[in-house]
Amino acid sequence: MNPHDRLKEVISFQAIQAKVEEMGREIARDYQDRQLVVIGILKGAFIFMADLVRAMDIPLRVDFVRLSSYGTRAESSGRVSITKDIELDIKGKDVLVVEDIVDTGYTLKYLKELLELHNPASVRICCLIDKKERREVDIDVDYVGFDVKKGFLVGYGLDFDERYRNLKGVYHITPGYEPEGFQPSDR
């Protein structure tokens, strides 16, 4: 079976491009004359981050963190740890965290609290996709590209088992034909 048969487009490349340009302009307006550090969460945010910062016509710095959460992907356990920390000094700076998708919210809650320890001037969050209905912890997302109700999504940086990150659009991946024991159906 062709693996692409189980992918259904949810957000087109054109729609993403238009939205990312719009978000970039809005964020650039909000951070004019500020000392902005944009922090991307690896790996999922790498493509969104690259497009977003190029849509922002203001001076800025970039950094990355890598986080890992325990448990299967179908059931986030809420236990998150950092495996690659920031390298820039964010004390007194305005921080914008860039995330691919917010699901239960545990990842961003953990990261925001960790970043606050460095005493930045502010911390805001920007995500491409918000799965608000699956939220388990309270976390404010300041800039949202698209709201999606449910389903496991791949493409534009998002992976399923490390694949599909390079797809230009965002796709819903249909369950079935997965490695044993893996159930992405309810995400």
SS3 68: strand
> Which residue from 51, 94, 100, 130 is in contact with ligand IMP, where contact means CB under 6 A?
100
Is 106 a binder of ligand IMP (CB under 6 A)? yes
Is 126 a binder of ligand IMP (CB under 6 A)? no
Catalytic annotation, pick one of 51, 94, 100, 103? 103
Stretch that binds ligand IMP, among 6-14, 20-28, 52-60, 99-107 (CB under 6 A): 99-107
CA end-to-end span of the chain: 23
Q: Is 103 a catalytic residue?
A: yes
Query: CA angle at residue 108 from 36 to 167, to 5 degrees?
Result: 85
SS3 content of the chain, % helix, strand, coil (to 5): 25, 30, 45
Structure tokens given for 133: 């209905």
d(CA 82, CA 69): 9
> Which residue from 16, 65, 101, 111 is in contact with ligand IMP, where contact means CB under 6 A?
101
Q: Give the shortest CB-174-to-ligand IMP separation in angstroms.
A: 13
Nearest CA to 111 out of 134, 87, 135, 81 is that of: 81
> Which residue from 44, 105, 155, 157 is in contact with Mg ion, where contact means CB under 5 A?
44
Residues belonging to the active site? 103
Q: Which residues bind ligand IMP (CB under 6 A)?
A: 44, 69, 76, 99-107, 152-153, 158, 187
Q: Which residues bind Mg ion (CB under 5 A)?
A: 44
